[in-house]
Amino acid sequence: MNELSRSKRWLYGSGDLSFSLANTSIGAYLAIYLTDVVGIHASFAAIIILLGGVWDAFTDPLMGVLSDRTKTGMGRRRPYILFGAIPYGLLYALIWWRPEWAGQGFNNLFYPIVLILFQSASTLVNMPFLALTPELTADYDERNSLTSNRMIFSIIGSLLAFTIPIMIIGEFIPANGAKVWIIGIVTGLISILPFVLIGSLIKENPRRRKEHGIHLNVFASFKIVKKNRAFLWALGLFLFSWLAIEVVQALLIYFIKYRLQMPQNSDVIMAAVFVSALISLPFWDLLSRKSDKRKSFIFGTSFWLLMQIVLVLFRPETPLPLIITVAALAGVGVGAVHVFSWSMIPDSIDAGDPEGMSQEGLYYSVVSFARKLASKGTVFLVLFILGQSGYEANAAIQIQSADNALGFMMGPLPTLLLGIAIFSAYKYPVRRETIRLPSLKGASGVKPEAVPEPVRTSESEEE
């Protein structure tokens, strides 16, 4: 076993702090920053975010192939992580700069360009970072440990990104533009450090580099993925549960500010979600050991679905303690999504790889491509609907059509997405007894024919 030290596991996991700080703050605040601080119409803000997301999604598989074929003394992944760190942090900070002298035409051109440049830097670092997991260890349990450390940092990053900015900035209004810029600079600088340390101190396994002699183009990659039905169901539960997170994340600040009329309590309500999500992680780990990941995901996601329905029924007269309590309970379900959606991906890859082809990097690029394309498309749709509903930035009270649009997109829409995720988990074929496959390099103990039929990916299963 190529066991990693505890310090290196935590160091690798810290990379998700950088991604979570940036991605959560962009998902939660970029829309309202563009509409309420910069003054861009909501529909055009939706187009800006969509352009950045589409560019980001399509560059992921290309970056995955490029890093697979890279040969340097530092390895295949580390050079991109190390040298992409500074552009990543600086371009993130530039997103939150609002030039006082700029007119609307400049803003309409400036922000999509900066966002595309940032997404390019993000892809440069993100794809090699994700693909580094199988480079670091081939041990199944060690990979789970790496993923668990990542999720701890991910939730901490989300908690900080949701709460600290709103505590310092207050309301997103033009007068607070300078505060937004300062937060952007500080967050960007913090995001650089973990990647510099990972690129400098984490070493790739040279034996793993030698084992990957087969290079596939992007189209061949999708053909391999299509054969793995366990992975497709895992991708479904991952994709739709994270789409629900993206929708709620993008609209929660609008919901609190305009529908609940409680902008001064935004930080408390948002903190309740992520503190409870962080605290719930040991519970979900224990439950999955007593049961399995599939059942635990269904239970946790169903619980969040119920809390989301309750939350959207609240109005300005609802007592704040009740809102915080329901938000915290919803956070417990959000914690389940964070843990199990990511940890079920490698299980499905191994289940569909009985020959031990070790195509983890390929699968992760597909996951990233699908998530980014779908999430940015969904965020574009909800912001476009909000813009067309008559939403007016910084209005004391929104007109009824805008209020109804917010209610629909914070209630029925995420409920539908979570329902599809639950159905995908129900169809997910991997069970605890089928995880130990020959592809896990010595940890098998299970004959290939003992694997349930839906998990297999032979040519005979193609439709």
Q: Helix axis angle, 218-227 relative to 229-254, nearest 10°?
A: 100
Average pLDDT of span 336-357: 74
Report if residue 2 sits inside a domain.
no
Both ends of the chain: CA-CA distance in Å?
39
Average pLDDT of span 327-332: 93
Q: Helix axis angle, 218-227 relative to 42-69, nearest 10°?
A: 90
- Asked if residue 174 has pLDDT above 70, the reply is yes
Distance of alpha carbon 263 from alpha carbon 170, whole angstroms: 8
Contact between residue 280 and residue 152 where contact means Cβ atoms under 8 Å apart:
no
Contact between residue 189 and residue 305 where contact means Cβ atoms under 8 Å apart:
no
Higher pLDDT, 137 or 213: 137
pLDDT of residue 450: 37
Residue type for 76, please?
A: R
Contact between residue 236 and residue 242 where contact means Cβ atoms under 8 Å apart:
no
Determine what percent of the chain is predicted with pLDDT higher than 90: 23
pLDDT of residue 102: 75
pLDDT classification of 461: cutoffs 50, 70, 90: very low
Tokens representing 93 are: 């900070």
Q: Which of 277, 11, 326, 282 is nearest to 162 (CA)?
A: 277
Region of poorest pLDDT, from 138-142, 166-170, 210-214: 210-214
Average pLDDT of span 56-83: 79
Per the structure, the complete domain to which residue 108 belongs is given by 8-204+216-456
pLDDT classification of 217: cutoffs 50, 70, 90: low
pLDDT of residue 144: 59
pLDDT classification of 73: cutoffs 50, 70, 90: confident
Report if residue 461 sits inside a domain.
no
Report if residue 3 sits inside a domain.
no
pLDDT of residue 138: 57
Report if residue 52 sits inside a domain.
yes
- Asked if residue 72 has pLDDT above 80, the reply is no
Region of poorest pLDDT, from 4-8, 51-55, 303-307, 361-365: 361-365
- Asked if residue 363 has pLDDT above 50, the reply is yes
pLDDT classification of 380: cutoffs 50, 70, 90: confident
pLDDT of residue 134: 63
Q: Which of 55, 352, 61, 54 is nearest to 219 (CA)?
A: 61
Report if residue 197 sits inside a domain.
yes
Alpha carbon 320 to chain centroid, angstroms = 29
- Asked if residue 457 has pLDDT above 50, the reply is no
What Cα–Cα distance (Å) separates residue 406 from each residue in 165, 391, 439, 445? Answer: 23, 10, 47, 52
Tokens representing 406 are: 């917010």
pLDDT of residue 459: 38
Tokens representing 321 are: 């303690």
Query: Any idea which residue has 């199944």 for tokens?
Result: 140
What Cα–Cα distance (Å) separates residue 435 from each residue in 100, 340, 443, 454? Answer: 57, 15, 10, 13
**457 secondary structure, DSSP code:** -
Q: pLDDT (tens digit, 9 = 90+) per residue, 83-114?
A: 999 999 999 999 999 888 877 888 888 999 99
If you write DSSP's letter for every residue of 417-432 in order, what string do you get?
A: HHHHHHHHHHH----G
Higher pLDDT, 334 or 69: 334
Report if residue 86 sits inside a domain.
yes
Q: pLDDT (tens digit, 9 = 90+) per residue, 440-456?
A: 343 333 333 333 444 44
Report if residue 463 sits inside a domain.
no
- Which CATH number do you get for residue 126? 1.20.1250.20
Number of domains in the chain: 1
Region of poorest pLDDT, from 98-102, 145-149, 321-325: 145-149
Q: pLDDT (tens digit, 9 = 90+) per residue, 246-300?
A: 888 878 888 888 888 888 888 888 888 888 988 888 888 778 777 788 888 999 9
What Cα–Cα distance (Å) separates residue 128 from each residue in 18, 134, 227, 443? Answer: 14, 11, 24, 27
Alpha carbon 354 to chain centroid, angstroms = 28
Q: pLDDT (tens digit, 9 = 90+) per residue, 21-46?
A: 988 888 878 888 888 888 888 888 88
Report if residue 118 sits inside a domain.
yes
